[in-house]
Structure 1
Amino acid sequence: MMELNLQRVDYLQVGVTSPKSLRLLPEKKIKGPQRVAVADQTGILQSFQMKKGESVPVFKTLPSSKITRLELGGPLGSPLEKIFIATGPEVRGYTKKGKQFLGFDTNLTESIKTMWVAGSHLFISGNYIYNHYVDCKDQDYFLCSDMINDIICLDLTKVSDVTPILACQDRVLRVLNSSELSYEVEVPGPPLCLSLFAGDGGDEGEELLYGTADGKVGLVQISRTREEFNLGPSHRWEILNEKRYGGVLCIDNYDITADGVQDLLLGRDDGLIEVYGYDEADEPIHRFSQTMSESVGSIQGGVVKTAGYDEIVACTYAGWIMGLTTEPQHKEVGPGDEVKVSEETQAKISNLRQELEELQRRVMTEREKYQSSSHSNKAMSAIPHFNINDKFSLNRDDASYTLSIEVQMAIDNVLLQSDVPIDLLDVDKNSAVVSYSACDTENGNFLLATYRCQANTTRLELKIRSIEGQYGMLQAYVTPRVQPKTCQVRQYLIKPLSLHQRTHVLDEKRPMNTLKLTGQFSLAEIHSWVCFCLPELPERTPSGDSVNFNFLSTFLDTQLECTYRKGEGIFRSDNISTISILKDVLTKEATKRKINLNISYDLVEETVPETIKLIHPKLEYQLLLAKKVQLVEALKELQIHEQDLNFMSPEYRQILEESEKLQAEYKKQPCHLERLYGMITDLFIDKFKFKGTNVKTKVPQLLEVLDNYDLQSLISFFETV
């Protein structure tokens, strides 16, 4: 296996960019330097190429409204040399020299979010609406039940039928036929981006790559009809995200390893760039990775800096365009050799000095202008505007929320405030210093924490774990390093069933408790109540008479089924506490709107021991971990005084060997055991609450049973009280 050695080179910085806003234009010469086309959120589209190590502009448009997507197009079968951008509800087309040849207003009510161009076919979508145009004439339309994250069409030079695919937030790829849904392909996470395998869909043109918000990547075979899809499995392979890297924002295919096979290039929202090759069985193998300081929204393979040298070109959120090139950037000098600086390098150093001096002069001028205007009575201090790219997403692996905050300039500090109890968990890649302030819990303030960032930090990642049943608002006050000081507030809802995640499959063999609500409410009203309770649901009211959503608890692996329509809602779960939370919150929401609800429930006794058995492995592990951590200090002290440790049992010797690992794990999740105790206590109270019995006085006895934990004793306690 060839060692892949890539070295970073920086090209230039544009404004803040949206994902998939950079493309490399094709070059007639084989391995000749390619032009780079990039669009940013200030509405500027520009193209540049590298000459003698400098970026030389080809063209640059004037600022306009925010550009959300850039794609290349051209006649089918020919090089893709035309540049298409989406801005608001409009699509514009430019030649490679910058001449505008198309200005097409789609008249959509929402801004274009994603776009794909193939010959005379234009595929666009907003948040929920998909449109297909041929020669700018309306052809097809589809209203999606959940948010559309990306759109693609199978290669029309290989596949005769027009087959658009929508990547939707509800963990589904929707395959369309004209204006109808042909079938759905379920994927393991919310898909954020799509790409044709090997750039053209493989041998038959039907293979499709997807990247998900939880960092997984997979290859699926797209059949053109439901009948073909039902014949066999569509999933070819999947790259799991065991190291919990960020979500995949962009994918490209390029032979960077020069082995004659297209490699897989990935850009992630935590700044990681990865390269995967393929083995003899066409399974992906990791070949290279490098971390940037910002999220990577666009990635392309090609030749940019020097003819003959392949590279990966990436664009970050803040608009930094950089390359990872195969060209050696450093020349080794032997003993006695003179270090000679080439004329090209000298010219570059001279240009940089001049540019730096010019920037310093401009800063001085602007500072003087600001000072003089702020001292006059008429002028007011201008608050500088800055963009924030933030994400608040649930991780199934450790039942926590990741809050990532990215700013186009360096972050000074981030203040977190919450009116519900939450835990802040350790994040390895977070170098910020955190300090906690005293909170007035009686007045609903449960957290006040300040993260002070190191110099030049533009991205901060935090991990948060909430308690189900307690809901409210988490607020982040973001202050960048700019003068005058300014701050922006971001708000994140902590929902009553915040640790539940959408799923496609339910285990029908499990016993389930049922909650049934009836009353004078509309489908839109009950949908808004369910949205208030559960994450990952579309805000838009689904079409149809009846709605069905399935959920899985990321913490306990219990399940929940929600089925509702106008005037009726049925909720089934194997966890009584989930039913209890839903009953309380839905009743409260209905009361706010002065709607009377008729509530009935059917509780199954078997569900309680089954839920305890689901908690058992986690509880047993945490109790054992806590016991081991308590022993570490004593064993270390014994180790200092005793030279020979052979008298110790193998179990104690193993604790000593793994002491650092055990303490690090315990530190990462300090309140895990308390949470499990809390869930069992809630389950105990909720079970008897539905029977009309208040057992809060029995809680101390329950805690005694937990302190001397045994699964059978705990189940017996629930049954004998």
Structure 2
Amino acid sequence: MELNLTRVDYLQVGVTCPRTMRLLPEKKTKAAQKVAVGDQEGTLHCFGMKKGEIVQNFKTLPGAKISRLELGGPLDAVQEKIFISCGSEVKGFSKKGKQFLGFDTNLTESIKTMWVCGSHLLLGGSYIFNHYLDCKDENYFLSSDHINDVICLPLKKVSNVTPILACQDRVLRAIDGSDLLYEVEVAGPPQTMALFGRDGGENGDEVLYGTSDGKIGFVEIGREHPIHKWEISNDKRRGGIQCIDTYDITADGVPDILVGRDDGQVEVYAYDMTEDPTMKFSQSLSESVSSIQGGVVGSGGHDEVVCCTYAGWIQGLTTEPQQKAVGPGQKVEISEESQTKITALKHEMEELQRKVIHEREIYQHAALSKKDGISALPQFNINDHFTLNKDDASYNLSIEVQVAIDNVLLQSDVPIDLLDVEKNSAVISYSACDSENGNFLLATYRCQANTTRLELKVRSIEGQYGVLQAYITPRIQPKVCQVRQYLIKPLSLHQRIHKLDESRVMNTLKLTGNFSLAEIHSWVNQCLPEIPERTPPGDSIRFYFMSTFLETQLDCSYRKGEGIFRSDNISTISIMKDVLTKEATKRKINLNISYEVVDDTIPATLWRIHPKLEYQLLLAKKFQLIEALKELQIHEQDLTFMSPEYRQILDDADKLQDEYKKQPCRLERLYGMITDLFIDKFKFKGSNVKSKVPQLLEVLDHYEVENLMEFFNTGGN
């Protein structure tokens, strides 16, 4: 079934946070609904459509930033009361704008997530979850990692209050009172959740989740254990999931899944004679989608997917045809009344444009004047993400500003590579750097007019760590910029996993000393990504990691006075040893270090590198042959004398050149990994083999895996 949706723009409010828009339900089916949306200025807007025009129902005064908006009410009644969270306070409004609740929770953390179910109020901060009943403290739970979202199974279908926490450590946590019921392991950091069908399905236990790396999953939260139903991977490397909802937009009697991503993509997934849903519709918006919901807004009787973007645009994707069909030779008849309205609107727009130009000139003059200059710099909000992409072992950096971006300057004190991004239309220019003084990158992205979002791709080198800084300058006067910093950690290409492959042989590093659990946790946090800043509860901590580049493993287990780290890659152990020793030295703590190096792990790591190295060497060889083969093609009419291999290179020339340019330093990176592995192997044996590196590079230039293994075994002797 083909789904056709047409985009409609309604209005723009202030900059919004994720999930701060909801459609107020109507008692009549398919009746036009009102839209409630909260912005970062603390203003709650409520509007609807009447005879094709926007009608503002109410608008509150500005206040603290609205971080979440949910609907609630008595369980057996229409859920039409509006609840918003601002800082540590929860406010409630009727659909007419009358405030009936002002509840100050006095929480130490600001409210990030909220769920309302009858008289139950569920609130999540960064790590603390609170459950209130009739605004009285009922239960409390401390999460071991950052809480991204909170929902609760519907009390109409499930007798017990069962909150579900989506946590950054790739886990959904089901809560029973103040205790953990169980954990549901998922494939990525869950960013948002929704009840399937908005009521949890037949038994009220069906939950959808979306991850920050773009995956969508479906799980049943049973009382005893969870059941994973399906998961949709992110093969096309689309953006992370910001919001998710269900609504029968295809009108087939089965709820469809509506998805909003942080790269501006809106998607509709439907069940089509299969157990897993498939994508039926996709629309790209210019800004990240912060909220999404299905309903009826613009015209009664016509379903819509209503979206709210980061800059506060409320947009609809409607099933209503926007143009009436006209027969051959017929003209569209416009009534005199409609023509008068169109003329009046044109005059109004022209007058507004003149006023804007006039005010802009006044502001420009004041900004540049030395006598009556503006003392306050203009403020602008930035929405940025720095996330590891498992598929190609790189970091995606997305920068979104509420106004047009003029340029973005990147500076790094650690060697990194900037990779091409297809969506990026900005012009990049590099400046000379003084690497001896810790400046390895200086690049400027100049954006086209009206660009509010910029996507970059960065690849780091493990073992080299520092800070990547982005100086973001928007197109406003006077010129002003904001600086954002992103940590490049020593083991930056490692990603959290749930289980280890225990069949692998591992090298071991053991540290003992007079350090606390909080101290060693902070050291591990300095070394690895996806480690919570706050020390998790308990007397001991254990994390599992996998390298996104080589798929080697790392097991981190530590407690007060002791830390044990195991990996099948000896270079990982070497980096951990150097960083942890450095951090302990800063705090003047003496460490007792012991290690066990297993020689069998070296060939295993080399075999993991082998297919990548072989492919890159072949790609480089083909790339070097392209120009010579093209020169030959110009002078020769008949190419049948060429070998099939050379003819295939000519046929794939554009593809090969494009792939080579997208991976400019991949071969050098692999050479560097093998060199580090060689040095680290003998360093743990007390030998310095740096003088043998030129010989190793010569072996790599004439690469044969058996010769490389032999060189490692003999140490180049």
Structures share fold, TM-score greater than 0.5: yes
Paired with 1:540 and 1:348, the residues of 2 have a C-alpha distance of 59
Deviation per CA, 1:183-241, whole angstroms, max 9, x where unpaired? 1000000000000112111111111100000000010111123xx44xxxx11011110
The answer to whether the Cα contact below 8 Å between 2:364 and 2:477 also exists between their aligned partners in 1 is: no
Q: 1:51, 1:648 → 2: CA distance?
A: 72
Matched, 1:564 2:563: no
1:241 to 218, 230, 234: 234
> Unaligned regions of 5+ residues in structure 1, if any?
none
For 1:624, the equivalent position in structure 2 comes to 618
User: Does the C-alpha gap of structure 1 residues 640 and 519 become closer, same or farther in structure 2, counting only changes over 3 Å?
Assistant: same
Counterpart Cα distance in 1 of 2:97 and 2:192: 27
Cα distance 1:634–1:155, how it changes in 2: closer, same or farther (>3 A)? same
Q: 1:468: how far off?
A: 0.6
Code of the aligned partner of 1:54 = E
Letter in 1 for 2:634: I
Determine the structure 1 residue equivalent to 2:186.
187
- 2:78 corresponds in structure 1 to 79
Partner of 1:36: 35
User: Counterpart of 1:476?
Assistant: 470
Compared CA separation, residues 151 and 356, structure 1 to 2 (3 A)? farther
| Matched-pair contact (CA < 8 Å) for 1:423–1:466 | yes
Structure 1 residue 273: Cα displacement: 0.2
> What does residue 695 of structure 1 align with?
689
Distance in 2 (CA, whole Å) between partners of 1:441 and 1:338 is: 69
Shift of 1:352: 5.2
Where 1:717 maps in the other structure, the secondary structure is helix
Query: Partner of 2:144 in structure 1?
Result: 145
CA distance in 2, matches of 1:345, 1:443: 68
Unaligned runs of 5+ in 2: none
Q: Do 1:52 and 1:344's aligned partners in 2 also have CA atoms closer than 8 Å?
A: no
1:379–1:459 Cα change, 3 Å: closer
SS at match of 1:361: helix
Write the mapping of 1:267-416 to structure 2, written as runs, cut at 5 A.
Answer: 267-342=260-335, 343-344=337-338, 346-348=340-342, 350-351=344-345, 353-358=347-352, 360-361=354-355, 364-365=358-359, 367-368=361-362, 371=365, 375=369, 377=371, 380-416=374-410
| Alpha carbons of structure 1 residues 106 and 363: separation in structure 2 relative to 1, 3 Å | farther
CA distance in 1, matches of 2:449, 2:441: 25
Matches within 5 A, 1:228-267: 228-229=225-226, 234-267=227-260
Take 1:349 and 1:268, find their aligned partners in 2: how far apart are those partners?
A: 38
CA distance in 1: counterparts of 2:445 and 2:544, whole angstroms: 37
Distance 1:353 1:491 in 2: 47
Post-superposition shift, 1:374?
6.8
- Alpha-carbon displacement from aligned partner over 1:324-369 (angstroms, at most 9, x marks no partner): 1111123454553334334446525523541551353265247437
Q: Tell me by how many angstroms 1:469 deviates.
A: 0.7
SS of corresponding position for 2:16: coil
**Percent identical:** 71
Look up the match of 2:45.
46
The answer to whether the Cα contact below 8 Å between 2:67 and 2:111 also exists between their aligned partners in 1 is yes
User: Counterpart of 1:635 in 2: which secondary structure?
Assistant: helix
**Gap change, CA 1:672 and 1:125, over 3 Å in 2:** same
Deviation readout 1:469-521 (Å, 9 max, x if unpaired): 11111000000000111100000111111111111111111111111111111
Q: Give the aligned CA root-mean-square deviation in angstroms.
A: 1.6
Distance between the aligned counterparts of 2:160 and 2:390, measured in 1? Answer: 38
Contact 1:24 1:35 in 2 (8 A): yes
Residue 642 of structure 1: CA displacement? 2.8
Match of 1:499 among 489, 493, 499: 493
1:491 is aligned with what amino acid?
Q
Equivalent pairs, count: 714
Distance 1:634 1:320, change over 3 A: same
Stretch of structure 1 that moved more, 648-657 or 262-271: 648-657
CA distance in 1, matches of 2:185, 2:339: 53
Counterpart Cα distance in 1 of 2:648 and 2:574: 43
| Partners of 1:599 and 1:331 in 2: CA distance | 78
The corresponding residue for 1:25 is 24
Distance change (3 Å), C-alpha of 1:718 and 1:346: farther
- SS in structure 2 opposite 1:505? coil
Supply the AA of the counterpart residue of 2:573.
Answer: I
* 1:681 equivalent in alignment to 2:680: no
Taking structure 2 as the reference length, what is the TM-score of the superposition? 0.97
With over 3 angstroms needed to count, the CA separation of the structure-2 counterparts of 1:144 and 1:694, relative to structure 1, is same
Amino acid at match of 1:521: F
2:213 pairs with 1:220: no
Bigger mean CA deviation after superposition, 340-349 or 404-413: 340-349
CA distance in 1, matches of 2:360, 2:431: 38
Q: 2 CA distance for matches of 1:444 and 1:372?
A: 40
The aligned counterpart of 2:434 is 440
Letter in 1 for 2:344: S
CA distance in 2, matches of 1:454, 1:460: 10
TM-score, scaled to structure 1: 0.97
AA matched with 1:278: Y
2:586 aligns to what?
A: 592
Deviation of residue 585 (structure 1)?
1.1
- Which secondary structure does the structure 2 equivalent of 1:485 belong to? coil
Aligned to 1:57: 56
Q: Using the alignment, how far apart are the partners of 2:339 and 2:188 within structure 1?
A: 47
- Cα distance in structure 1, aligned partners of 2:347 and 2:27: 36
Amino acid aligned to 1:301: G
Q: Which amino acid aligns with 1:564?
A: Y
Is 1:134 matched up with 2:133? yes
